[in-house]
């Protein structure tokens, strides 16, 4: 079974997400990584991205000031929460990359995910390691 993984982030954090993605051990026969880049082909509209979330197993929210301020990220997150509640997405994994964000009181963070935050991660490499361990956990669940 292929694990479909989506990364939600602000385009302003592209350098960070590229480091994370380049440091995750991905096997194309087991993993399908998805994320929206504004400079993708004209066919990759936000509507297409939102509709594709129904096929996602794990939704990683790379949480920074930029991503919380991004209307596209907020839209992706809102849809992911809806799909988790329906049982379509298995888990939303918010990865906190900014120590200045208080996840308990920041009004941009939906109540549904406030308690789900992975502790503040200092570096993209650290985030990649944490994300890798979460992916491995789900691989083990599917192998049973």
Q: For residue 132, give its domain range.
A: 3-143
Q: How confident is the prediction along the chain (144 residues), in pLDDT tens digits per residue?
A: 789 999 999 999 999 999 999 999 887 778 878 777 655 554 568 888 889 899 999 999 999 999 999 999 999 999 999 999 999 999 999 999 999 999 989 999 999 998 888 778 889 999 999 999 999 888 887 665
CATH number at residue 40: 3.40.50.10140
Helix (H, G, I), strand (E, B) or coil at 7: strand
Cα–Cα dist 109/68, whole Å: 7
Give, as one character, the DSSP assignment of residue 136: H
What's the alpha-carbon Rg for the chain, to the nearest Å? 14
Q: Is 64 exposed, middle or buried (CB count within 10 Å of its CB: 0-12, 13-18, 19+)?
A: buried
Number of domains comprising the chain: 1
């Amino acid at each position: 079974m292929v694990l479909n993984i989506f990364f939600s982030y602000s385009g302003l954090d592209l350098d960070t997400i590229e480091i994370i993605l380049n440091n995750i051990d991905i096997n194309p026969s087991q993993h399908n990584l998805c994320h929206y880049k504004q400079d993708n082909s004209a066919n990759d509209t936000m509507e297409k991205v939102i509709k594709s979330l129904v096929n996602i197993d794990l939704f990683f929210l790379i949480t920074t000031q930029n991503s919380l301020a991004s209307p596209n990220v907020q839209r992706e997150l809102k849809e992911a929460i809806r799909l988790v509640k329906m049982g379509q997405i298995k888990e939303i994994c918010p990865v906190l990359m900014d120590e200045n964000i208080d996840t308990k009181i920041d009004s941009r963070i939906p109540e549904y995910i406030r308690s789900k935050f992975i502790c503040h991660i200092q570096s993209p490499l650290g985030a990649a390691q944490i994300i890798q361990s979460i992916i491995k956990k789900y691989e083990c669940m599917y192998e049973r």
